[in-house]
Amino acid sequence: MRPNPRQSIYLILSLLIVVAMGFLFKYYTGPAHQWFNDYGAAVFYEIFWCLFAFWFFPTRTAIKQIPFWVFIITCILEVLQLWHPPLLENMRATLIGKLLLGTTFVWWDFLYYALGCILGWLWLRQLQGLSNAKKS
């Protein structure tokens, strides 16, 4: 099942905004850059995965489940950062691997993952509401 055409437009625009903001935060060099680079970007990372999953599961039920599973999976990835087998280290040596898997375990990340998933859930509800409101 795919999102309806109106939902698809909102979803694509949302993904573009979130990706742009995520990279802006990840590579920001101004005041408080460390917080933006490490934690602010993590919030957008979670929102991105919520939106991405919604592309494949655009149902009202999925809106409740997607943020939960995104949180669980990213928490598992965070814990995997404590493990350093050669395969994971080779993956983390690439930009994509570093962005997707991370490199350093930090307890604070869990808080920002939760915040990102809550914001992702709210975003998904808004997308659902916008697409439903325009139908009538």
At 62-111, the pLDDT tens digits run 999 999 999 999 999 999 999 999 999 999 999 999 888 888 899 999 99
Q: What is the CA radius of gyration of the chain?
A: 16
In the block, residue with structure tokens 């998904």: 124
What span, in angstroms and rounded, lies between the C-alpha atoms of 62 and 33? 34
Instruction: Please state, for a pLDDT cut of 90, what percent of the chain lies above it.
Output: 78
pLDDT reported for residue 41? 92
Position 132 pLDDT exceeds 70? no
pLDDT reported for residue 133? 62
Give the pTM.
Answer: 0.88
Give the angle 109-111-115 at the CA atoms, nearest 5°.
115
